[in-house]
């Protein structure tokens, strides 16, 4: 292995990012820095075979259309333009992981047809999981905010209205007045808590 090639492989390993060259004519990988097939659990030969037809055999069925559209964008891209896409790939154990790739044209044939693309590939499964977790938390906060604003706030507002009405009419019994004051204080505290929950759960829509 040449010194330059060894340096490049060392650089790829340190970067923890897969670099590869994909031939659009033969529709298979012609160079891989090695991280992708190691990450997916395939041997180098297996990975090269699986790269045929734009990895159709290991791309999640729901994501293959996204992949095809991305490849078409690459084919139609301008010189130096980078096309990015995120799809799921199946590992050798059958589990799918999210992979983000950034690709651009590396070589064009003399006729002007696109021949090869260079692709940078990175495992973004954990990032997608965090994103999904955040979206779920936001969904839960919206539910809490809705229930707080509509289901809880409404009866509290009614009680506050009744307390104000009684306060305006006056209470003569000292004992009843004491109970009424306790009720009014409790309602004020509860209303403050509701407002705090709304402020904490407020999410821009």
State the SS3 of 3-57: HHHHHHHHHHHHHCCEEEEEECCCCEEEEECCHHHHHHCCCHHHHHHHCHHHHCC
- The phi, psi pair for 60, rounded to 5°, reads -60, 135
Structure tokens at 165: 């009405």
Sign of the dihedral defined by the CA atoms of residues 141, 142, 147, 150, in that order: positive
Tokens 């990895």 belong to 55
Structure tokens at 18: 């897969």
Tokens 């004051």 belong to 181
Q: With contact defined as beta carbons under 8 Å apart, do 103 and 69 qualify? A: no
Q: What is the pLDDT of residue 34?
A: 82
**What angle, rounded to 10 degrees, do the helices at 153-169 and 174-201 form?**
150
Q: What is the pLDDT of residue 3?
A: 40
Domain regions of the chain by residue span? 3-123, 130-201
Buried b (16+ CB within 10 A) or exposed e, 132-161: eeeeeeeeeeeeebeebeeebbeeeeeeee
Q: How many CA atoms lie within 13 A of 73 on its CB side?
A: 15
- From first to last of its 205 residues, the chain has per-residue pLDDT tens of 444 444 444 544 544 567 888 888 888 888 888 888 888 999 989 998 999 888 999 999 999 999 999 988 988 888 889 999 999 999 999 999 999 989 888 888 776 655 688 888 889 999 999 988 988 888 877 777 776 666 666 667 767 776 776 677 666 677 667 767 767 777 777 777 777 766 665 644 4
- Give, in words, the CATH class of 3-123: alpha beta
pTM of the predicted model as reported, rounded to 2 decimal places: 0.64
């Amino acid at each position: 292995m040449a010194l330059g090639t060894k340096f490049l492989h060392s650089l790829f390993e340190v970067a923890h990012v897969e670099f590869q060259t994909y031939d659009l004519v033969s529709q298979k990988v012609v160079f891989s820095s090695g991280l992708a097939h190691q990450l997916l659990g395939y041997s180098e030969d297996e990975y090269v075979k699986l790269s045929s037809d734009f990895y159709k055999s290991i791309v999640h069925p729901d994501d293959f259309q996204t992949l095809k559209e991305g490849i078409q964008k690459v084919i139609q891209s301008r010189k130096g333009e980078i096309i990015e896409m995120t799809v799921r790939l199946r590992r050798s154990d059958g589990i799918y992981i999210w992979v983000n790739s950034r690709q651009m044209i590396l070589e064009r044939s003399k006729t002007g047809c696109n021949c090869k693309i260079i692709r940078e590939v990175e495992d973004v499964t954990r990032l997608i999981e965090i994103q999904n977790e955040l979206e779920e938390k936001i969904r839960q906060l919206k539910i809490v905010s809705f229930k707080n604003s509509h289901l809880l706030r409404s009866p509290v507002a009614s009680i506050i209205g009744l307390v104000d009405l009684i306060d305006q009419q006056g209470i003569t019994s000292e004992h009843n007045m004491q109970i009424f004051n306790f009720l009014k204080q409790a309602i004020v505290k509860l209303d403050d808590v509701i407002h705090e929950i709304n402020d904490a759960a407020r999410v821009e829509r």
